[in-house]
Each structure stands twice: as C-alpha cells, then as structure tokens.
Structure 1
Amino acid sequence: MTKIEQTVEIPHLGGSSVGATFGRPYDPALPTLVMINSYTTSAELYRPQFADPALTDAVNLLALEPYGHGRTRASYQHFSYWDSATANLQALSVLGISEAFVLGTSQGGWIAVRMALLAPDVVKGLIPLGTSMDTESQRSRDLGCWDGVGFCSPFIDAFGEPVGDDWTVPDGFVDDTFDAALGGLSDEERAFWLATYRANYAGDAGRQRLRLCTLNLRDRDGLHGRLDEVSPPILWLHGTADQVYSVANAEEEIKLFTRSCEARLQVIEGGHHFLSASKPIEVDAAVAEFVGRWT
C-alpha cells in the first residue's frame, strides 16, 4: 500500500511543520495508531508496519516525526521531548483526530507517555517499545542499560562547531547508532539508512538538529514521579536482545504505572532495541490485539 506523506502546520514553537505519514487514506471508522520514531531515525523506521496489510486494514497508521527528525521543523531552534509531545497533539487536532493509540520506540516511548500526561482524553492506549522512563541514570546502568552519557557526549562535542553546506552526518555515527539498536545492518539496509540520514542531516542546520537530538537524549528529565498519573492502558514490548535498555529496567518501571487501568510488559525473545524493525511479526500481532481489545 502506498504511504501518504504530508506535513501538518501547527502553532507550537513559533510555528512548526510536523512530518506525518499515513499508511492509507484516513478512515474515521477505524482506530488510529500514532507511531513515534526513535533517536535520529524517521518515519521510515516503521516500513515493516506500513507494509503489513493485516495491520493497515485494522487501524489508521500514522507516523509523526519528533522535532529534529525527518521532515519536522520549528521556527524556534531549541526543543525538548515535551515540545514533541505537544506538537503531536496539535497535529492530531489539525488532522481532525480526537483520539488515538500511541506507539513509540525508545525516545518515542517517553514522548508517547508525555502525550498521555498532557492529554489523557486523547491518548486511549500506550505501546512503548524498548524504552526507559528514567534519565540516563546510574540506577538504569546498574540494571544493565547502556551508558547513554558515554555514547552521546563525544557526538555532542564533535557536532559543536558550525559547518559548511556540504556537511553530512558521518557514516560512523549511523553505524554506531544501528550497531547499538539492531546489532548492525545488512548492506542493503545500511545503504538505505545512510542515504536517509544524509538527506535529513545536511549542512549546518542538519548538524545543529543532530546535536540537539543527542543533547535531549543525554540530558532529558525522567518521568518516574509522574507515572502514577498515567491512566490509559499500557502494553510495553521489550526485546531480550535490547542492548540499550534492559528487560530488568522495564520490569521495574512497568510497576510505576499504578493508576493505569492495565499496565503489562510483554518480552519478545531475540528482539533488539528498534523492536518494530527487529521483530515486526511479533510486534504487529501484539499491537493489533491490544488496539482491538481497547477500542
């Protein structure tokens, strides 16, 4: 099925354009599943979901790209994950979508939870994939999560100075990101993502967006103190081969959603950090069941 790519104009951050990709023409009779991509990727992360006819027949798939990613741009130069949550809610309003389930990979997971905190009447269910609700803390590292500060800081330093119009993201950055997130890429997938990153992060504006995305990841605020205010049902999917955030961390954090009508962790054997790309069959089946049950 042909994807429908567009940008949605919203007022947030001085006026913004949000990259929005539908899997099919919007059908108001179907539930909507918003998908929020992971660090420095784009809506293309969800190609397996857009290619799944069973899923696209059951829900309106809508990928919304956070600030600094894909086609999403703001008039103001700085942004946070709260800004991306607000932008997504404003985009849904402009699109005339009054409620949706929200799925998010890694950073997309904590953006999704922020959306539920800001607009519990809009978010009907949450599906975090391979994520964490903490800061990049010593607590999370003690539970087997990565050293996010150690990963991000060298890139923040490297991307700190202005560059020329011919600058593109270094190949090594893309390789390091996908080594951590998917255990590496095939030659075909590597070529695809290198081309995607070079298009999304070009010139000095691309460098600055990439640096801000990395700063946000390293220095974000945690959500532990707010999770008892999250009310929608939650299906947290996590892979056993996730090199970034551990199953042990997910097992602790799912218990913090004390006021959710249901908060369940489903562990997927062999799944990597970018779980929807790593185990699309298992993820799509779990998502379809969850949305069907809570619609």
Structure 2
Amino acid sequence: MSSSTATVDVPHLGGSRIGYRSGRPHDPSLPTVVMVNSFTTTVDLYRPQFEDTALSGAANLLALEPYGHGATRSVYPHFTYWDSALANLQAMDALGVDRAFVLGTSQGGWVAARMALLAPDRIQGILPLGTSMDFESPASRERGCWDGIEFCTPSVDALAAPVGDDWVVPEEFVDAVLGAGLGEGISDGFRAFWRQVYRETYTGDDGRHRLRVCTVNLRDRDGLHGRLDEVRCPVLWLHGTDDTVYSVANAEDGIRRFTGARHAELEIVQGGQHFLSASNPEEVDAAALAFVTRWA
C-alpha cells in the first residue's frame, strides 16, 4: 500500500475498506474532484494531479481505489464496476463529501459514468479519460480499438489456480499493462516504481484472486450505451491521439451517446497515451480545472 493511501470503511459487499488519498482536509467551500484509477493501478496514478498546485488549490482532490485495486478490500470475494461505483458513493458519504465531479482514467471513466447514473443528484460532472462506454464489442474493434478479450484471456487462465503465500504478480503482467497504458517510452525508474507497487498490491492467493477478478471485469464487463442518455450532468471526455487501447473514433462515437447531458464535449489531446492523466498531466489538469470552474 502506498504511504500516501488511507482507508475508510463502507457497508457495501458485506463490509469494505476503501483505499483513498486526499490532497487536503476537506474544504466544503471548494468543489471536490473524485479520481478513479485505471486497471490494476493505485491512487499513485494521480500523483501529478496532487502535485499540481493550481488544480489542488482550486478543488478538493480525492482519489478512490476500486475493488480489487490498491488497499481496497471487501468481505465478499467477487465484485463488478457497479460495486465500485456504489462503494465510491458510500466513501464520499463517510468522508463528508456530498457532491463531486468524477474524473476517471480508462476503467475509471466507466466507473465515473456509473456513479453519475446511480446518483445524478450528487455527481456534478464527469471527466472520462482514454476510455470507452462500450463493452469489449466487435463494433469497438471495428472502430480501431484493441482486442481486450485477446489481451485479458491469457491472464484470466493463468491466474485460475490457487497459489502460495510467496506468490507475487509477474513482472510481465505489469510491463504489459504499462505498455498498453503509456507506450514504450517509460523510464527505468518509472517502471521500477510501478513494479514495486504491483508487488505490494498483488501477493499471495488473495492477491492472485483479486487480480483475476479485475481482469475478468475488464474483459467481460457490460456496456453502457443503452444507459448513457440518462446521464444528466456535464461530460468532458479527453482522449489521446496515441491511445492504442481505445481509438479516437470510438470516443467520438461514445460522446454522441450522452444525449441527455447538460453538456457533452470531446477534447482530443495530441500525443496523449491511454493512461492520459499520467502521460499528459498538464493538459488534463488544465482541462479539469476549467471544467470544474465552469460547472461548480
């Protein structure tokens, strides 16, 4: 668990402990931005946002780790993205956050949309980054997206059997995620940092099982296309031109489906990778600050 991570208890899934990081004591006079991290990462994904004095000075920043990620644990051993969305809302309750904007990277984007669907009176706006609102569909692949089934299935199969207490996540898994999320231009120090974070998060049989369920969720999730017209809050979708997982064409298709939103806009980030909040924090932070300032 990252030294910057705290936990808060919520009732969902038989009782859960949600990993989080906040940038300051909650200031009710400021808007709050909840940030939801990408597949198998932790709140550490949002270190650039916490370090941005303009963004962190204008809003309360609160990063929440979904089920299967970081320090988040539950009594029940299985979970979905809907569970993470509901647990995030309960974490907001426990931390005294009544309303918030939600920024989500990759899978965090569809968790953000689920939060807006579950609690439209509490979510003031969503900022999906490098995401898709589809399931891993043939249509998404026709729009130039990756084959998520092909990417995930070998890991789902490899993680099926119980392991001993000395098991740790293979470095090959970590490197594959980092490569898909950030391309090949990753520094040795950055790679070493994340390898260590993953080793701390996914150890023993419990770690193996959480990692497998995370991977099953990514591969087998339900799409949101039939629900997006019920999102009422403003939506700003940021997408990088160098995203090799979900295409710009897929983002263009997705943003058009927010027909009931107060405002829905797609902003293209030149050179942006899939984990856009990490690859292009300056563009993301500036856009988030402008969005929150406009709609708070």
TM-score by length of 1: 0.98
What amino acid is the match of 1:174? V
Per the alignment, residue 216 of structure 1 pairs with 217
What amino acid is the match of 2:67? Y
Partner Cα distance (1:150, 1:72) in 2:
27
Partner Cα distance (2:247, 2:133) in 1:
12
Partner Cα distance (2:136, 2:17) in 1:
29
1:134-149 equivalent positions in 2, closer than 5 A: 134-149=134-149
Per the alignment, residue 288 of structure 1 pairs with 289
Per the alignment, residue 72 of structure 1 pairs with 72
Partner Cα distance (1:73, 1:241) in 2:
34
Partner Cα distance (2:119, 2:266) in 1:
23
Unaligned 5+ segments in structure 2 are none
Matched, 1:58 2:58: yes
Partner Cα distance (1:204, 1:263) in 2:
43
1:157-196 equivalent positions in 2, closer than 5 A: 157-184=157-184, 185-196=186-197
What amino acid is the match of 2:272? G
Per the alignment, residue 97 of structure 1 pairs with 97
Matched residue count: 293
Can you list the C-alpha shifts for 1:225-255, whole angstroms capped at 9, x where unaligned?
A: 0000000000000000000000000001100
1:18-97 equivalent positions in 2, closer than 5 A: 18-97=18-97
Partner Cα distance (2:89, 2:26) in 1:
17
Alpha-carbon distance, 1:24 to partner: 1.6
RMSD over aligned CA atoms reads: 0.8
Alpha-carbon distance, 1:4 to partner: 5.7
Partner Cα distance (1:99, 1:193) in 2:
32
Unaligned 5+ segments in structure 1 are none
Can you list the C-alpha shifts for 1:206-237, whole angstroms capped at 9, x where unaligned?
A: 00000000000000000000000000000000
Secondary structure at the counterpart of residue 238 of structure 2: strand
Kept in 1: contact 2:130–2:275 (CA 8 A): yes
TM-score by length of 2: 0.98
Kept in 1: contact 2:5–2:71 (CA 8 A): no
Partner Cα distance (1:202, 1:27) in 2:
36
Per the alignment, residue 198 of structure 1 pairs with 199
Secondary structure at the counterpart of residue 69 of structure 2: coil
Secondary structure at the counterpart of residue 235 of structure 1: strand
What amino acid is the match of 1:36? V
Kept in 2: contact 1:109–1:127 (CA 8 A): yes
Partner Cα distance (1:211, 1:8) in 2:
24
Alpha-carbon distance, 1:5 to partner: 3.3
Partner Cα distance (2:23, 2:98) in 1:
18
Partner Cα distance (2:95, 2:281) in 1:
27
Kept in 2: contact 1:4–1:25 (CA 8 A): no
Can you list the C-alpha shifts for 1:235-283, whole angstroms capped at 9, x where unaligned?
A: 0000000000000000011000000010000000000000010000000
Alpha-carbon distance, 1:112 to partner: 0.5
Partner Cα distance (1:116, 1:171) in 2:
35
Which 4+ residue blocks in structure 1 deviate beyond 4 angstroms? Answer: none
